[in-house]
Amino acid sequence: MQNLILASSSRYRKSLLERLQLSFKCVSPDLDERAQKNESAEHQAVRLAEAKAQTVAAEFPEATVIGSDQVAELCFVDSADKSPRVLGKPGNHQRAVAQLSAQSGQTVKFYTAVTVLYQGQCNSALDITEVNFRDLSSAEIEGYLKADTPYDCAGSFKAESLGISLFESVKSDDPSALIGLPLIKLSKLLRDLNSSAR
């Protein structure tokens, strides 16, 4: 596939796409990624994946553009009076401690959307990965954060690294989705695009 662009500045997504051994370049979309009023985590992920692809495609109309977004949602499994809340990238140690403390013994759903846009044809897919966290002590959280420094990761962990040790279980159809780009779904979207272009 020629003239392929990943609409992202994420080193994690770049590294994942390199696994498919495709020639591509990265172009960072410049857009507001905040949630809209009363927007679900699932809708936000799909909307932003499409918006990223469309923003870059406007600059490169002949390219095939890949957009992706991930939204993490903390679901409190032991409390009916706590509604789910979206988790962003912590940005610093203090916020990462707060995120992991809140996630301890709880479930986090990761909605990872991917969009492939080519000459106005837009196709999207969504992966939902469910992560069940172990009960984490303060010492475990501190030790983990010092080892992995996941301050640029939603949920404050790196599943591809030591972060996997924080989990009780993971339910997913695509293990790459948790890192930020669902390669199984993306591969299908690219195959479908190739088939329709013939």
Q: Please give the C-alpha separations between residue 110 and each of 152, 182, 186, 193, in angstroms, as whole numbers.
A: 15, 11, 17, 26
Phi/psi for 121 (5° steps) reads -85, 120
Catalytic residue (choose from 69, 127, 148, 174): 69
The two structure tokens encoding residue 112: 């990872």
* Local structure of 114: helix, strand or coil: strand
| Distance in angstroms (rounded) separating the CA atoms of residues 140 and 95 | 16
| Distance in angstroms (rounded) separating the CA atoms of residues 144 and 114 | 29
| Residue recorded with tokens 């479930």 | 107
* Local structure of 47: helix, strand or coil: helix
Active site residue 69: yes
- Which residues are designated catalytic? 69
